């Protein structure tokens, strides 16, 4: 059976798709890049904003249109929140809510008459032992460590769609990283909805997990995805003394105005955020701090927006992801007064994006003339592209096969979105 897997939204969705691909490949399915080739299409959808919801609808309709003979399975946040609507779309054979994601392949086995004599864990083990790594998978392994969220941000529909905080076991995370390491991956990216809450329901912590990963694996790079700023403890930051932990923290700010943050239900003030960033930079050399900011939140006036701009400029983020506020039905913020007009919100998005571009250039410029190690991901016309540990995109011209290799480079100049590098012969040339 040929299976096409499509995903929208966050790295967590992508990590789930990669896990399904391995399980399905272990069952003998062929994972195909194009839906036209597929007997089965699986869409992992998103609903974090109204735009994401619209793209999810479009994805499902496109899959049904271009592959009319394939059975279509729709899962993810959009499917969870709009199951009836999704079920009514043409060609949809199964709608699987977020609670069914953990056992999605088992459900497909049951419904599609695939071999069912192995458990999901055994299928994952079999895929690893047989070296089954579907060709479309990324060079960096996305490792799902937890799901759900117990925060009460007033704008967020994801916590409704994903449910309560729940964590994988430390042993299962370590085993998965060891498996990806055997497959040749050079970097593990820890993903989840709220990874800073990892293990909290069992009296464990993200620091406990990272210590165990560092002690029981040897994968060259470990990267944490988005961490809520209030989860940054001194115990956690101290672990970055190990250089295998990438010097990159994605800390969602959402707003630089305390009044806006209170309406958002965020557990961090602007002053605390700035203090945490300063502590993180003191603990982690060459740290890249990236962030998410929502503009046009209900009640945000020009003064409140200016406070966000000023704080973002003071922090000097390496990258700013900017989102116009999107009212999601069922959230507290959707019913708030003083909704900001779309035109005003888009104007503020443009202004903050321009600041983000300037901050990114300033951050990257400080590394020109220095050496770094780059994990190379893709190549086109002899130009290789990859990432430093602190998430700077680097490109270099080379006839050698650099794919999935970490090599030393000298950073010699700026590009539009990253840096230009030249290959060095030895890592000893990196201070």
Write down the pLDDT at residue 111: 77
Average pLDDT over residues 57-62: 95
Alpha helices (H) in 194-330, listed in sequence order:
206-216, 234-238, 258-264, 270-283, 302-315
Q: 3-state DSSP call for residue 419?
A: strand
Average pLDDT over residues 203-223: 98
Closest CA relative to residue 226, chosen from 252, 202, 187: 252
pLDDT in tens, 247-284: 999 999 999 999 999 999 999 999 999 999 999 999 99
pLDDT exceeds 80 at position 425: yes
pLDDT exceeds 70 at position 20: yes
Closest CA relative to residue 42, chosen from 80, 73, 76, 19: 73
Q: What is the Cα–Cα distance from 385 to 409, expressed in whole angstroms?
A: 12
pLDDT exceeds 80 at position 430: no
Element (H, E) at 328: none
Bridge-based pairing state of the strands 146-147 and 166-167: antiparallel
Q: Which residue has the tokens 């290799």?
A: 405
Phi, psi of 102 (to 5 degrees): -60, -25
Asked if 403 and 383 count as a contact pair (C-beta separation under 8 A), the reply is no
Domains of the chain from N-terminus onward: 1-132 (3.40.50.12160), 371-429 (2.40.50)
Q: Which residues are bridge partners to 373 per DSSP?
A: 408
pLDDT in tens, 282-302: 999 999 999 999 999 999 999
Closest CA relative to residue 135, chosen from 5, 273, 314: 5
List CB contacts of 270: < 8 A, sequence separation 6 or more: 255, 256, 257, 258, 261, 307, 311
- Grade residue 125 by pLDDT with cuts at 50, 70 and 90: low
Joined together, the tokens standing for residue 188 give: 């593990």
Q: What is the Cα–Cα distance from 335 to 333, expressed in whole angstroms?
A: 5
For residues 244 and 120, the model is more confident at: 244
Write down the pLDDT at residue 66: 95
pLDDT exceeds 60 at position 202: yes
pLDDT exceeds 50 at position 119: no
Asked if 150 and 22 count as a contact pair (C-beta separation under 8 A), the reply is no
Give 210's Cβ-side CA count (13 Å radius): 27
Average pLDDT, the chain: 93
For residues 304 and 128, the model is more confident at: 304
pLDDT in tens, 334-361: 999 999 999 999 999 999 999 999 999 9
- Grade residue 117 by pLDDT with cuts at 50, 70 and 90: very low
């Amino acid at each position: 059976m040929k299976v096409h897997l499509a995903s929208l939204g966050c790295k967590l969705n992508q990590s789930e798709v990669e896990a399904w691909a391995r399980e399905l490949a272990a069952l003998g399915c062929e994972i195909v890049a194009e839906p036209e080739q597929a007997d089965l299409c699986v869409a992992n959808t998103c609903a974090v904003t109204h735009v994401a919801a619209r793209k999810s609808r479009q994805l499902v309709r496109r899959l049904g249109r271009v592959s009319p003979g394939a059975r279509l399975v729709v899962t993810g946040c959009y499917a969870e929140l709009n199951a009836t609507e999704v079920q009514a779309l043409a060609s949809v054979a199964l709608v699987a809510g977020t609670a069914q994601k953990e056992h999605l392949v088992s459900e497909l086995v049951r419904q599609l008459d695939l071999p069912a004599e192995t458990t999901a864990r055994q299928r994952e083990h079999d895929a690893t032992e047989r070296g089954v790594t579907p060709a479309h998978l990324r060079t960096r392994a996305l490792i799902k460590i937890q799901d759900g969220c117990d925060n009460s941000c007033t704008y967020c529909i994801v916590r409704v769609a994903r449910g309560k905080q729940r964590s994988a076991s430390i042993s299962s995370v370590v085993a998965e990283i060891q498996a990806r390491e055997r497959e040749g991956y050079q970097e593990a990216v820890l993903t989840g909805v709220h990874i800073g809450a990892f293990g909290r329901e069992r009296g464990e912590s993200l620091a406990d997990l990272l210590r165990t990963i560092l002690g029981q694996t040897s994968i060259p790079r470990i990267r944490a995805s988005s961490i809520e700023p209030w989860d940054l403890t001194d115990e956690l930051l101290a672990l970055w003394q190990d250089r295998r932990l990438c010097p990159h923290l994605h800390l969602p700010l959402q707003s630089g105005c305390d009044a806006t943050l209170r309406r958002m239900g965020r557990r961090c003030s602007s002053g605390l955020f700035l203090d945490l960033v300063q502590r993180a930079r003191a603990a982690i050399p060459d740290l890249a701090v990236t962030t998410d900011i929502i503009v046009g939140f209900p009640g945000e006036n020009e003064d409140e927006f200016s406070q966000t701009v000023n704080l973002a400029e003071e922090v000097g983020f390496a990258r700013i992801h900017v989102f116009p506020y999107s009212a999601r039905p069922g959230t507290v913020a959707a019913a708030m007064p003083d909704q900001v007009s779309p035109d005003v919100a888009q104007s503020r998005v443009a202004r903050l994006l321009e600041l983000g571009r300037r901050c990114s250039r300033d951050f990257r410029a400080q590394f020109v003339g220095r050496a770094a190690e780059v994990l190379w991901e893709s190549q086109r016309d002899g130009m290789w592209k990859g990432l430093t540990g602190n998430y700077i995109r680097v490109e270099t011209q080379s006839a050698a096969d650099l794919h999935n290799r970490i090599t030393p480079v000298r950073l010699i100049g700026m590009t539009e979105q990253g840096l230009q590098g030249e290959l060095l012969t030895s890592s000893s040339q990196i201070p």
